[in-house]
A and B are shown apart, each in its own frame.
Chain A
Amino acid sequence: MVGFVVRRVAALVAVLLAVTGLAFGAMNVLGDPLFNVVGFIASVDCDAVAAGEVDDISGQTAGGRGDCEVIAEARREHHLDRALPIRYGYWLGDIVRGDLGTSFKNEMPVREVIGEKLPKSVLLMVVAQVIAVGLAVPWAVAAAYRAHRPFDRASTVGTFGLVAIPSFALGVILFYLFVVRWQIFSSRYDDTDLWSRLRSMVLPGLTLGLPAAAVYMRLLRTDLLTTLQEDFVLMARAKGMSDQWVMFRHVLRPSLFSLVTVFGLSTAGMIGGSLVVEQIFSIPGLGRALVEAVIRDDFPIVLGGVVVVATGFVVVNFAVDLLYTLIDPRVRADG
């Protein structure tokens, strides 16, 4: 057991290294880090300035500290003169000590920024997944039970309908109906207490959860139908067990593979990709912050966000792997 946990933790670390390495590298390729830190004055030719040939840009803009001083300091602080892997190493060193750096945008500590936004995104994801699974399982069971009959056919059409409506459309529709028209929910995220937070997450949770429910439902239904073909099912029925009993007790569990797999996979998507939902429902979450940071080349926020999302993802999938073993004992948790 201990070995198991150790292996898992090692896997987590390895994944984080890979993911952050990719992010770090990509962002460095995309944008000049010096520009990201000091802005326009990065284009000043400091050698020429030193030789007296050229004014630093501040000559046009303002007095104050010379641009080349600013540049030199930025280079020192962010190790910009070193090779990429070494810079990455410094960043790792900072991370290990818990220092995620400060945002390029307004120098707020990344830990604080992410710490504020993450719980909202996590709550959204949890609510969305609960809705999705809560809807998908009974629905799929009912549909598989009545496979190819009207209910199942209608369900097929219904699930594709849900998948075909993008979240930005679904969100706007839900917002209009439930906030504006019927005034059942508030228009923004309400932080007062747990209850109001949950209430704030109903509509956004539906927006993310309904399409996910459709996906889960399809997968589960397919697996259920496959399982239904198996001999032991036949046996159970031969022994006179009721259909419902058969379905739930014996058919459902072995059919959960696909659902559980995709459930785990969609975690990262829901945290990192909930940009549109966050915008429509005015939720100050990580999705929006992350995307904006990428587009703005705000390294520290992007890296911090990626670390957090990746960690969450690994943890969730760890749980998923454990679930696998519960579903089918033949599949041993072995990394």
Chain B
Amino acid sequence: MADMPAPGERTPDQRDSHLHVQDLGSEVSVRGSYEALLGGQVFDDSKGSRLGVFFWLAVGWMGLVVVAAVTAPWLPLADPDQTGFGGRLDAPSGDAWFGTDGNGRDVFSRTVWGARISLVVGFVAIAMGMVFGGALGIIAGYFRGVVDRLISFVMFAMLAFPGLVLALLFIATLGSSLTIVSVTLGLLAIAPVGRLARAATLLYAEREFVQASRLLGASHGRIIVRELLPNVLIPMSGLALLGMALTVVAEGGLAFLGLSVSDGFSWGKLIVTGAAPRTLREGPWVAMFPIGAMFLTVLALNYAGDRLRWFMDVRELAFER
């Protein structure tokens, strides 16, 4: 083989992604040799293409959270708004599994109810980020030229504007219903995800397999969807899923300023209340349980997303011709 290429350089006959491998009709066996050489570093499940226990745990948790959030009004929970359900800052006990907060309210019940707003806000942000941000980013990165300049400019301007200020302006003008708050935060997700998508697209668009596809007469749409999207999806979804956590936290920040959904409370709001300096010292559970819930949700979502992506790739390899 040729000499070691300079960092970043690719020689024409080097193939990169497994998708390219797919296009040329190579098999999984090439992957197998990867595995062997790299000591199984890339894929942990050389037993084959299974999702794994943790995947199902993650899905289970997500399911639990979603179901609990949706059915909250019918679950046998304490009234989340009831002052004095317990004493002030009671530690977790049989009566109040997550303890009580500074107003004597049941933290467990509030955590369940808080999921409703947090999940909506988080999912909307991910969805808007990936759909709109991804679409714009890929289009910009693929078509280049004027289209790219225009889209990039808009995204860039959105990013240059201090995010919190932008959110404040939107919400102050339009009001603070759940829809508006979710969409506003979703808007904030578009530009970062879009920019990342564009960067990734730029990277892959120059690659040989894309050019090869073009030569073979594939349409733009097909190239974008078949060649670019799967590749771009990886870094993009990584950011977007992380973005869910960031969005929930951002919503908490807005709640603190009184600019979030006025009717009800979210995990972010619970955490803000629980993180008042003295409350945090005397009754850490008030903040810690919502943080824990958010942590597990974000973790589960990302893990499941990772696993699923990997799983889809492998399956594709195995069955596509």
Q: Do A and B touch (CB < 8 Å)?
A: yes
Q: Which of A95-103, A112-120, A194-202, A327-335 lies at the binding interface?
A: A327-335
Known contacts being A235-B1, A236-B4, A262-B239, is A169 close to B163, with CB within 8 Å? no
Do B42 and A329 touch (CB < 8 A)?
no
Q: Interface segment, B70-78, B98-106, B251-259?
A: B251-259
Q: B215 on the interface (CB 8 Å rule)? A: no
- B287 contacts across to A, CB distance below 8 A: 169
Identity of the chain B residue whose Cβ is nearest the Cβ of A266 in the assembled complex = B192
Tell me the interface secondary structure of chain B in the complex. helix
Give Cα A88 to B156, complex, Å. 21
Among candidates A148, A160, A166, A269, residue contacting B299 with C-beta atoms closer than 8 Å: A160
Contact of B199 among A22, A253, A258, A269 (CB under 8 A): A258
**A237 adjacent to chain B (CB < 8 Å):** yes
Q: Which of A149, A223, A250, A258 contacts B7 (CB 8 A)?
A: A250
| A23-B161, A275-B253 known; A166 vs B268 contact (CB < 8 Å) | yes
Contact in complex: B275, A169 (CB < 8 Å): yes
B203 in contact with A257 (CB, 8 Å): yes
Which of the listed residues B168, B235, B257 has the most CB atoms from chain A within 10 Å of its own CB?
B235
Asked if B246 contacts A163 (CB within 8 A), the reply is yes
A305 B173 Cβ-Cβ under 8 A: no
A18 and B155 CA atoms in complex are apart in Å by 11
Task: Give the top 10 A-B pairs by smallest Cβ distance, nearest first.
Answer: A272-B162, A148-B44, A164-B295, A310-B160, A166-B249, A169-B275, A18-B157, A160-B299, A313-B160, A273-B164
Question: Are the C-beta atoms of B303 and A167 separated by less than 8 Å?
Answer: no
A165-B291, A166-B249 given; A15·B173 CB < 8 A: no
Q: Is A184 an interface residue (CB 8 A)?
A: no
Contact B164 A261 (CB under 8 A): no
Query: Is A6 on the interface with B (CB-CB < 8 A)?
Result: no
Listed stretches B13-21, B80-88, B123-131, B175-183; interface member: B13-21
Q: How far is the CA of A161 from the CA of B235 in the complex (A)?
A: 20
Contact of A291 with B257 in the complex, beta carbons under 8 Å: yes
Chain A contacts for B320, CB-based, 8 A: none
Q: Does B228 have its Cβ within 8 Å of any Cβ on chain A?
A: no
Main secondary structure, interface of A, reads: helix
B10 near A: Cβ within 8 Å? Answer: yes
Q: Known: A231-B14, A330-B206. Contact between A145 and B162, CB under 8 A?
A: no
Query: Which of A147, A229, A257 contacts B17 (CB under 8 A)?
Result: A229
- Inside 8 A of B107's CB, which chain A residues have their CB? none
A156 touches B303 (CB 8 A): yes
Find out whether the CB atom of B295 lies under 8 angstroms from the CB atom of A222: no
Question: In the assembled complex, which residues on chain A have CB atoms less than 8 Å from the CB atom of B257?
Answer: 291, 295
Which of the segments A55-63, A65-73, A172-180 contacts the partner chain?
A172-180
Of residues 293 to 307 in B, which have CB atoms within 8 Å of A's CB atoms?
294-295, 298-299, 302-303
Interface residues of A in 262-310 (CB under 8 A from B): 262, 265, 268-269, 271-273, 275-276, 287, 290-291, 294-295, 302, 305-306, 309-310
Distance of A295 Cα from B258 Cα, bound (Å): 11
- A271-B295 contact, Cβ under 8 Å, with A30-B169, A160-B245, A219-B239: no
Q: Choose among B37, B161, B164, B169 the residue that contacts A275 (Cβ–Cβ < 8 A).
A: B164
For chain B, residues 168 to 196, give those with C-beta under 8 angstroms from any C-beta of chain A.
Answer: 168-169, 172-173, 191-192, 195-196
Whether A258 contacts B200 by the Cβ 8 Å rule is yes
